[in-house]
């Protein structure tokens, strides 16, 4: 670079717009998008470790896509090439690839190719990139405002991680403004600027989540406002309103926002919410959507979602569409709103969807012959008997008679399911009555013979028990618990998750699979388990490996607070079982959550577990001894000194509400009763009636109230009744979700 080039570059940087000058240079300066670059997230770890794979940043303007690419350029050891798809073509791509090949060959250096507005490349240009991304010559970073799944080559998308950036929230935009006002080198830190709170609120509101828009408006306000006699630049609400007067609506008639908005509109009308329907209608009209497109969708909805519940709906919407054509805009907004309100408040029925069930049956079933009595009798009535046996409905009372109209193999199939809404409620009664009469006639042999029903045989329970016994059965049951817990957790791909009780990794590995752009931490108090998990994790790529920790659960809060790490979800199975103060522990863990984070647990509830006395017949012992056994066993589950068995979900929720000040609406609980077929072996009975090692055994509890002779009698009864017998084992799992 010559002296003149350097001076020219300095001049450009000094005279650049405020939004360009204030562009963050490091991750610490970056504002917003915590869901992809917050502490613990995959992308942040990848940038810091300089271990990037191909990426595509997708989001609205002003959310930081290009800025993230610049930050990567400032931190990576790789050679960085930036091009803009609006200005560049295949020649620029080839030049960049040539440089990348040279860097790789001569210096073993990676090359990152940043393509801004990548969706602007045509198919040929995108195809030209593919082989070099495929063989690792370049690491692609693309930025686009359009949905990459529609606008970017599918082969490129499949080889890239997609990160969606969202509009900045109010707190983020406020921070952007403060950063610009305080920075003395790139912003207005050297000026005496006083900005009213109302002015800030207006700038944030109208900027609509766009950091560039709010900075442009702030720059216009500052540069066009002269200082007063005290040298102070006063930005009032009036000045702010002059600087940014109209909200920029992100609306592309062929892009995601177009389809998402019309989807919200249709779903609001279908859901009979006239307020929401009018709001989304206003959003579309304000953004310049074609009213004819909206009316066309309403005309479809009049049949699809209202149908026979209000047969006049199609007539009214068609009339509104005709009225719009006559009056045009802006008065045409009246019939547009009328059509919307009519459908939003009309009774709903989607019974016309029965046609598509019939269509699916036609596609799925073999081609069936038209029943003989329904065939055309004019052509070969005498030769083949076509039309013979047809019953003419008008010859019967109420102009209807029961007879077969469907092909024989579809007889009894119902495609039309009339709703009980509006006018269709009357149709429902009529159709139901006629179907019952028709079925009765067929059963009686008065119509065409009823076709044979498909065969059915009950499952052999004994065979099923043997097939699912041992570890395979246990694995299946644990898998069900895991899946139910993750369903309740509602993980998103970018979440950072902490497994509170990793153990064998039942939840850890599933979490790794579900949060590929987030991160997983797994904690176990057992060093042996931690070592085993670490060994398993070594088989995974470094960036997606879970972080394995061997810590006591009571130390988790201090450890992660010191590390300044917060989580979107804390998950665990049987975490609370042995903890004496469960509420205090949950209070600590709540502080580890990000806003809108949640703790999701699956806990075996001993108080609801199988009672052993219920497995034997009461008459297998004397009446008094059996009653004493019942009382002794029930006492186990009311022992106030045993934290493992002396609690239930209801008590926990109540205590949390009192001690942790958690609203009951923040807690969701489900208790799932389960019945499992297991075989009682002599080894199990031996374990029940032997002294316990780590915890008191069944015998240890009974011996406190029963004599040695009575225990011997009870054991003999268990041995006689249960050895090698299959029993139904009742238990309960409590699923708990606590939202911050």
Residue 366 has pLDDT above 80, yes or no: no
User: Of the ranges 61-65, 255-259, 291-295, 463-467, which is most confident?
Assistant: 291-295
The domains found in the chain, sorted by start residue, are 33-164 (3.40.50.300), 256-348 (1.20.272.10), 353-443 (1.10.3710.10), 471-605 (3.40.50.150), 611-641+682-723 (no CATH)
Mean pLDDT score, 647-657: 74
pLDDT, residue 151, reads: 80
Q: Could you tell me the two tokens for 426?
A: 């009357």
Report whether pLDDT(577) > 80. Answer: no
The whole-number average pLDDT for the span 59-74 is: 86
- Residue 475: pLDDT band (50, 70, 90) is low
Cis before 452 (ω within 30)? no
Q: How confident is residue 307, by pLDDT bands cut at 50, 70 and 90?
A: confident
Q: First-to-last CA distance in the chain? A: 55
What pLDDT sits at residue 438? Answer: 61
Q: Give residue 476's pLDDT.
A: 64
User: Phi first, then psi: what are they for 595, rounded to 5°?
Assistant: -55, 135
Residues 6+ away with beta carbon under 8 Å from 502 = 508, 522, 523, 524, 529, 530, 533, 548
pLDDT bin (cut points 50, 70, 90) of residue 567 is: very high
Report whether pLDDT(643) > 80: no
Among 95-109, 157-171, 428-442, 630-644, which stretch is predicted with the lowest mean pLDDT?
A: 428-442
Distances (CA, A) of 508 to 209, 277, 329, 477, 554: 36, 43, 58, 17, 20
Task: Please say if the pLDDT value at position 315 is more than 90.
Answer: yes
pLDDT in tens, 490-504: 988 889 999 998 887
Task: List, for residues 137-153, the tens digit of each pLDDT value.
Answer: 888 899 988 888 878 88
Query: What tokens were used for 513?
Result: 């699979």
Give the tokens for residue 161: 């991680």
pLDDT in tens, 28-41: 889 888 888 888 88
What digits encode the pLDDT tens for the residues 615-625? 888 888 888 88
Mean pLDDT for 344-371 is 77
Q: How confident is the model at residue 523 (pLDDT cuts 50, 70, 90)?
A: very high
User: With 80 as the cut, is the pLDDT of residue 653 above it?
Assistant: no
pLDDT score at 576: 83
The residue ranking higher by pLDDT, 578 or 718, is 718
Look at residue 428 and tell me whether its pLDDT is greater than 80.
Answer: no
Say if strands 725-739 and 233-235 run parallel, antiparallel, or are unpaired: unpaired
Query: Looking at residue 601, what is its pLDDT?
Result: 92
DSSP state of 449: P
pLDDT of 498 reads: 94
Contacts of residues 648-657 at CB distance under 8 Å and 24 or more positions apart, as own/partner, are 648/605, 648/607, 648/608, 648/734, 649/603, 649/605, 649/734, 649/736, 652/576, 652/582, 652/583, 652/736, 655/582, 655/583, 656/583, 656/586, 656/738
Mean pLDDT of 659-669: 71
Give the strands of the sheet with 725-739, arranged side by side: 547-549, 519-523, 496-499, 567-573, 593-604, 725-739, 667-680
What pLDDT was estimated at residue 384?
56
**Better pLDDT: 681 or 475:** 681
Q: How far apart are CA 57 and CA 161, in angstroms?
A: 9
Three-class DSSP category at 698 = helix
Lowest mean pLDDT among 238-242, 639-643, 684-688: 639-643
| Pair 340, 278: CB distance under 8 Å | yes
Q: For residue 96, what pLDDT is reported? A: 87
The residues, any chain, with a CB within 8 Å of residue 656's CB and separated by 6 or more, are 583, 586, 662, 667, 738
**In the chain, what's the furthest Cα-to-Cα distance?**
111
From residue 9, give the alpha-carbon distance in Å to each of 16, 79, 185.
Answer: 10, 21, 16
Residue 469 has pLDDT above 60, yes or no: no
pLDDT of 725 reads 85
Pairing of strands 233-235, 496-499: unpaired
Tell me if residue 523 falls in helix, strand or coil.
strand
Distances (CA, A) of 334 to 322, 330, 535, 549: 12, 8, 68, 64
Taking residues 309-313, what's their average pLDDT?
Answer: 88
Nearest one of 449, 455, 444 to 411, comparing CA atoms: 449
**Predicted pLDDT of residue 446:** 46
Does residue 691 carry a pLDDT above 80? Answer: yes
Contact 320, 335 (CB under 8 A): yes
- The predicted pLDDT at position 677 comes to 78
What pLDDT does residue 466 have? 25
What does the DSSP 8-state code read for residue 304? I
The mean-pLDDT minimum among 97-106, 211-220, 357-366, 437-446 falls in: 437-446
Identify whether the C-beta of residue 177 lies closer than 8 Å to the C-beta of residue 203. Answer: yes
Q: What percent of the chain has pLDDT over 90?
A: 9
Report H helices in 76-186: 90-107, 123-134, 148-151, 154-158, 170-182
Query: Model confidence at 185, in pLDDT bands (50, 70, 90)?
Result: confident
Could you tell me the two tokens for 507? 């939840």
Residues 603 and 734: beta-carbon distance below 8 Å: yes
pLDDT number for residue 336: 93
Q: What is the DSSP letter of 118?
A: G
Range in 158-162, 301-305, 355-359, 457-461 the model is least confident about:
457-461
Q: What is the pLDDT of residue 279?
A: 86
Mean pLDDT of 238-246: 77
How far apart CA 444 and CA 450 sit, in angstroms, is 9
- Tokens for 702, please give them: 């009974």
**pLDDT tens-digit readout, 370-386:** 777 677 767 655 555 66
pLDDT of residue 655: 74
Please choose, from the candidates 368, 349, 347, the residue with its C-alpha nearest in 3D space to the C-alpha of residue 358: 368
Burial of 685 (0-12, 13-18, 19+ CB in 10 A): middle
**What's the average model confidence in pLDDT over 129-144?**
87
Specify the pLDDT at position 363: 73
């Amino acid at each position: 670079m010559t002296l003149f080039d350097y001076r020219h570059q300095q001049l450009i940087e000094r005279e650049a717009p405020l939004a360009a000058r204030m562009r963050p240079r490091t991750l610490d300066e970056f504002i917003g998008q915590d869901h992809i670059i917050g502490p613990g997230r995959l992308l942040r770890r990848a940038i810091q470790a300089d271990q990037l794979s191909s990426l595509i940043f997708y989001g609205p303007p002003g959310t930081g896509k290009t800025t993230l690419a610049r930050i990567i350029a400032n931190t990576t050891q790789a050679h960085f090439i930036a091009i803009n798809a609006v200005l560049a073509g295949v020649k620029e791509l080839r030049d960049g690839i040539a440089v990348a090949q040279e860097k790789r060959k001569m210096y073993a250096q990676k090359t990152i190719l940043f393509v801004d507005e990548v969706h602007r490349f045509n198919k040929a240009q995108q195809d030209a990139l593919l082989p070099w991304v495929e063989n690792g010559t370049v690491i692609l970073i693309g930025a686009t405002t359009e949905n990459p799944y529609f606008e970017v080559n599918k082969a490129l998308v499949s080889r890239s991680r997609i990160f969606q950036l969202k509009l900045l929230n109010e707190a983020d935009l406020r921070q952007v403004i403060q950063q610009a006002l305080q920075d003395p080198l790139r912003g207005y830190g050297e000026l005496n600027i006083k900005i009213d709170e109302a002015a800030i609120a207006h700038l944030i509101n109208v900027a609509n989540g766009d950091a560039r828009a709010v900075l442009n408006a702030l720059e216009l306000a500052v540069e066009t406002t002269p200082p007063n006699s005290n040298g102070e630049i006063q930005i009032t609400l009036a000045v702010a309103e002059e600087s940014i007067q109209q909200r920029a609506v992100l609306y592309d008639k062929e892009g995601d926002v177009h389809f998402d908005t019309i989807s919200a509109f249709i779903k609001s009308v279908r859901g009979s919410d006239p307020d929401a329907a009018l709001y989304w209608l206003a959003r579309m009209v304000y953004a310049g959507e074609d009213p004819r497109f909206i009316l066309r969708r309403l005309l479809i909805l009049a049949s699809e979602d209202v149908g026979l519940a209000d047969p006049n709906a199609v007539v009214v919407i068609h009339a509104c569409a005709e009225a719009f054509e006559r009056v045009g805009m802006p008065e045409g907004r009246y019939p547009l709103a009328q059509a919307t309100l009519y459908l939003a408040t009309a009774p709903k029925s989607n019974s016309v969807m029965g046609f598509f069930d019939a269509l699916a049956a036609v596609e799925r079933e073999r081609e069936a012959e038209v029943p003989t009595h329904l065939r055309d009798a004019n052509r070969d009535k005498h030769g083949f008997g076509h039309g013979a046996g047809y019953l003419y409905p008008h010859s019967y009372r109420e102009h209807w008679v029961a007879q077969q109209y469907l092909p024989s193999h579809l007889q009894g199939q119902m495609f039309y399911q009339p709703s009980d809404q509006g006018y269709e409620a009357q149709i429902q009664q009529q159709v139901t009555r006629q179907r019952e009469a028709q079925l009765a006639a067929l059963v009686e042999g008065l119509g065409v013979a009823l076709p044979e029903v498909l065969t059915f045989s009950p499952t052999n329970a004994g065979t099923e028990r043997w097939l699912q016994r041992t570890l395979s059965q246990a694995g299946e049951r644990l898998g069900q618990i895991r899946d139910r817990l993750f369903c309740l957790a509602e993980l998103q791909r970018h979440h950072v998750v902490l497994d509170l009780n990793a153990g064998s990794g039942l939840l850890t590995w599933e979490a790794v699979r579900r949060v590929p752009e987030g991160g997983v931490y797994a904690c176990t108090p057992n060093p042996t388990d931690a070592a085993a998990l670490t060994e398993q994790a070594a088989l995974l790529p470094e960036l997606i490996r879970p972080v394995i920790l061997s810590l006591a659960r009571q130390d988790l809060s201090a450890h992660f607070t010191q590390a300044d790490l917060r989580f979107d979800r804390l998950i665990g199975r049987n975490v609370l079982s042995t903890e004496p103060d469960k509420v205090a522990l949950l209070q600590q863990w709540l502080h580890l959550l990000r806003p809108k984070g949640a703790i999701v647990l699956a806990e075996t509830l001993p108080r609801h577990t199988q009672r052993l006395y219920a497995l034997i017949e009461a008459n297998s012992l004397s009446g008094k001894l059996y009653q004493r056994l019942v009382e002794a066993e029930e006492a186990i589950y009311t022992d106030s000194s045993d934290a493992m068995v002396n609690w239930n979900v209801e008590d926990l929720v109540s205590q949390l509400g009192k001690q942790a000040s958690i609203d009951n609406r923040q807690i969701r609980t489900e208790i799932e009763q389960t019945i499992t077929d297991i075989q009682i072996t002599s080894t199990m009975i031996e374990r029940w009636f032997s002294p316990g090692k780590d915890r008191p055994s069944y015998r240890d509890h009974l011996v406190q109230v029963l004599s040695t002779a009575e225990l011997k009698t009870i054991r003999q009864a268990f041995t006689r009744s249960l050895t090698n017998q299959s029993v139904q084992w009742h238990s309960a799992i409590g699923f708990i979700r606590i939202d911050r």
